[in-house]
Amino acid sequence: MNSLDRRSIRKYKKQSIPQEVLDFILESGIRSSNCGNMQLYSIIVTRKEEGKKKLAPFHFNQPMIEGCDTVLTVCLDVNRFHHWCRMRNADESLSNFLFLNVATIDATVCTQAMASAAEEKGLGICYLGTVNYMAKEIAQALDLPKGVIPVTTLTIGYPDETPELTERLPMNALVHYEKYNDYSDEDINRIYRDIEENPANKAFVKENNLETLAQVFSQVRYSKKDAETFSKLYKDFLKENFCEI
């Protein structure tokens, strides 16, 4: 697949991914760049129907969890590294905010490498951000020990749809050469014009009885109240299982 044709696939054929193809995808993630070659991540592969059914409620029952062939839950993981350190008379030095960030980046880079490899093999993928809301529940479902935190989930399977490409902001809205160039009001109007004029988005605004698309994002889809609630839950989970933040 041309990387500029990337799209999220939420509907999959009932066709099993051969193990050698899945191994190629996983190995592509393992070969991805990471900090210090510590590989501070683990990948939980869920292929059995009962496993996917168990995970589904923690992804708000989005149908692609049970509809895909394989669910990959990618976790930051200092547990394995610390176990090695204990056995080799070395310090356990990674349970802190710095390595929370480092390991999250490692896990994310690994996930994108696997996504690209899956698409190379003709498969479809979909990222699920619900991990951010339900990290504790997903960790319990997968028997994750302390020091292992779910970061993101990837569903993989043979596509049974070809959705339209999702809109994106133009390159000049996101790319800054040499230094950050802050945005004027005119820049913001130009950058968001096409998205705001999209008929589907205009309909979304109307359905929610709001005035602007920004209000839909900040008051309906990602409200401050919800963010604060889930932030506290996530912080409490991290405090118990990883580090103070």
pLDDT of the chain, 245 residues: tens digit per residue:
788 888 999 999 999 999 999 999 999 999 999 999 999 999 999 999 999 999 999 999 999 999 999 999 999 999 999 999 999 999 999 999 999 999 999 999 999 999 999 999 999 999 999 999 999 999 999 999 999 999 999 999 999 999 988 899 999 999 999 999 999 999 999 999 999 999 999 999 999 999 999 999 999 999 999 999 999 999 999 999 999 88
Cα-based distances in Å from 133 to 37, 84, 194, 234, 237? 29, 31, 30, 7, 11
Answer whether 37's CB lies under 8 Å from 125's CB: no
Cα 27 to Cα 234: distance, rounded to the nearest angstrom = 30
Measure the CA–CA gap between 31 and 159, rounded to whole angstroms: 25
Residue environment code for 81-109, b if the CB has 16+ CB neighbours within 10 A, otherwise e: bbeeeeeeeeeeebbeeebbebbbbbbbb
CA distance linking residue 59 with residue 159, whole number of Å: 20
Q: At what angle do helices 199-207 and 185-197 cross, to 10 degrees?
A: 90
Q: Where are the alpha helices (DSSP H) in 47-181?
A: 49-55, 64-67, 79-87, 97-120, 135-141, 171-174
pLDDT for the residue 244: 86
- pTM for this model (two decimals): 0.95
Q: Are 8 and 127 in contact (CB under 8 A)?
A: yes
CA 74 to chain centre: 8
Domains of the chain (ranges; CATH) run: 3-163 (3.40.109.10)
Task: Report which secondary-structure segment, H or E, holds 70.
Answer: strand 70-77
**What tokens appear for 98 in the block?**
């710095």
